[in-house]
Amino acid sequence: MRFSVLSLAREALTGHRGWTPTWRDAAPRDAYDVVIIGGGGHGLATAYYLAKEFGIRNVAVLEKGWIGGGNVGRNTTIIRSNYLLPGNEPFYEQAMKLWEGLEQDFNYNAMVSQRGVLNLYHSDAQRDAYARRGNAMRLNGVDSELLDRDGVRAMAPFLTFDDARFPIQGGLLQRRGGTARHDAVAWGYARGASDRGVDIVQHCEVTGFLREAGRVVGVETTRGTIRAGKIGMAVAGHSSRVAGMAGLRLPIESHVLQAFVSEGIKPLIPGVITFGAGHFYISQSDKGGLVFGGDIDGYNSYAQRGNLAVVEDVCEGGMALMPMIGRLRLLRSWGGIMDMSMDGSPIIDRTPVDGLYLNAGWCYGGFKATPASGFCFAHLLARDEPHPVAAAFRLDRFASGHLIDEKGAGAQPNLH
């Protein structure tokens, strides 16, 4: 069923009895051409583009919980393509271009809002680093503007400029960045894939791999054995565990990242703002709540909840930037499990196990990547060759030394 003004009017006049479920809650079949493990944003987007762009429709997405229950429904919804390094920038810009046409493409309101992403700088050295990043973006045809202090003040007069411990000197602005409603992105991709014949199977955990002559030919699940021509892993924070079932040890650690939402207030924050002297980022949801976050908790965990030390650290960042935030009440907080890679950049590649493909290592930033990640993973699964914009995201770069270390932090997942 297509959403349009006409379908809305028709349903309004007929008592809203004709709406169909957003996607088909399928039971697993015995075999598929492609099985995707993980019904998060990346798994669903992969299935959508496999069906839509590559004509491969005999596909199942196997999700151990429910659609939207993982990181895709837990993130702070920021989308942007303000990257420095050649391996990353074209890929994230491809994602941004897909975001810009996404709602028309999958005929679903994902509330994509290009309200701007502003990274604040607080020192001359940080200004120079942002100028370099902004120039790298422009060389790749991506929009960026370096604002001085007055430029930032005009956009966000409520920030502390004068008596702060880390006075704001300016900011790097990407106007095309912004936010998207995270769970609607999952639902939109699920709907688009399901409409094209993909089976979305919830409550179906993959517990092992079926192997014949060294090749994976299927998966064992809590709902029986399913054979597959090819298998794609897109399980985010569970990547090491699922890969371990195939005998692979990945350069990935799982860490908790928390997010916070305040009570709703009148419109205050124009876009996304990040603090440059600590790890704190904030935006305002369309319902009025301030949505913010900071660092990962800093220890390995598979628990979807964090601890109080990071709550305090995040709130300190907020107070340093805009002390009036201290008068707000916190409504909710939650955690998600991040697949932190050793260089902070993702992996979209074949694995050494024949028939098994990997999409992982998204760290803090995988939501904004969702459309391009799905597109490029579908390309790899369909054609057995990497998409040009994702060609650097190889698994063997950790052996060869061709790392994509955007932050220059070294092999320290807790610092990426």
Ligand X SMILES: Cc1cc2nc3c(=O)[nH]c(=O)nc-3n(C[C@H](O)[C@H](O)[C@H](O)COP(=O)(O)OP(=O)(O)OC[C@H]3O[C@@H](n4cnc5c(N)ncnc54)[C@H](O)[C@@H]3O)c2cc1C
Per CB under 6 A, 378 contacts ligand X:
no
Shortest distance, position 148 Cβ to ligand X, whole Å: 26
Shortest distance, position 208 Cβ to ligand X, whole Å: 9
**Window 154-193: residues binding ligand X (CB under 6 A):** none
Per CB under 6 A, 364 contacts ligand X:
yes
Per CB under 6 A, 64 contacts ligand X:
yes
Pick from 8, 53, 65, 396 the residue near ligand X by CB under 6 A. 65
Pick from 365, 371, 386, 413 the residue near ligand X by CB under 6 A. 365
**Window 327-346: residues binding ligand X (CB under 6 A):** 336
Shortest distance, position 272 Cβ to ligand X, whole Å: 8
**Window 228-247: residues binding ligand X (CB under 6 A):** 234-238, 242
Pick from 28, 70, 116, 178 the residue near ligand X by CB under 6 A. 70
Using CB positions, name the residue nearest to ligand X: 40
Per CB under 6 A, 42 contacts ligand X:
yes
Q: Which is nearer to ligand X, 37 or 231 (CB)?
A: 37
**Window 198-217: residues binding ligand X (CB under 6 A):** 205-206
| Interface stretch with ligand X, choices 24-32, 89-97, 365-373, 376-384 (CB under 6 A) | 365-373
SS (H, E, C) the chain: CCCCHHHHHHHHHCCCCCCCCCCCECCCCCEEEEEEECCCHHHHHHHHHHHHHHCCCCEEEECCCCCCCCHHHCCCCEECCCCCCCCCHHHHHHHHHHHHHHHHHHCCCCCCECCCEEEEECCHHHHHHHHHHHHHHHHCCCCCEEEEHHHHHHHCCCCCCCCCCCCCCEEEEECCCEECCHHHHHHHHHHHHHHCCCEEECCCCEEEEEEECCEEEEEEECCEEEEEEEEEECCHHHHHHHHHHCCCCCCEEEEEEEEEEEEECCCCCCCEEEECCCCEEEEECCCCEEEEEEEEEEEECCCCCCCHHHHHHHHHHHHHHCHHHHHCCEEEEEEEEEEEECCCCCEEEECCCCCEEEEECCHHHHHHHHHHHHHHHHHHHHHCCCCHHHCCCCCCHHHHCCCCCCCCCCCCHHHC
Per CB under 6 A, 278 contacts ligand X:
no
Per CB under 6 A, 98 contacts ligand X:
no
Per CB under 6 A, 74 contacts ligand X:
yes
Q: Which is nearer to ligand X, 169 or 234 (CB)?
A: 234
Q: Which residues bind ligand X (CB under 6 A)?
A: 37-43, 62-65, 69-72, 74-78, 205-206, 234-238, 242, 257-259, 293, 336, 362, 364-368
